[in-house]
Amino acid sequence: MMTTSTQTVKPVASKSKSKTSIFKREEKAYVNPYLAGALLGLVLFASFFITGSGLGASGGLNRMLVFVEDLVVPEHVDRTPYLLEMAGGERNPLDSWIVFVTIGVVLGGFTSGWLNGRVKIETNKGPNITRRTRLFMAFLGGSFMGFGARLARGCTSGQALSGGAVLSVGSWAFMFAVFGGAYALAYFLRKFWN
Contacts with 23 (C-beta within 8 Å, 6 or more apart), sequence order: 114, 119, 120
Q: Residues 93, 66: contact at Cβ < 8 Å? A: yes
Q: What are phi and psi of 54, to 5 degrees?
A: -85, -160
Q: pLDDT at position 23, please?
A: 64
168/162 Cα distance (integer angstroms): 9
For the stretch 69-123, pLDDT in tens is 999 998 898 888 888 888 877 889 999 888 988 899 899 989 988 888 888 888 8
Higher pLDDT, 21 or 194: 194
* Residue 157, pLDDT score: 78
Question: What is the predicted pLDDT for the residue at 153?
Answer: 77
Number of residues written out for the chain: 194
- Residue 176, CA distances (Å) to 111, 144, 156, 164, 170 in order: 32, 17, 11, 11, 10
Distance CA 53, CA 46 (A): 10
Q: Where are the domains of the chain?
A: 30-120, 125-194
Which stretches within 73-96 are classed as H helix?
Answer: 74-79, 81-87
Residue 47 scores a pLDDT above 60: yes
pLDDT single digits (tens) 140-167: 988 988 888 888 777 777 888 888 888 9
Evaluate if residue 10 carries a pLDDT over 80.
no
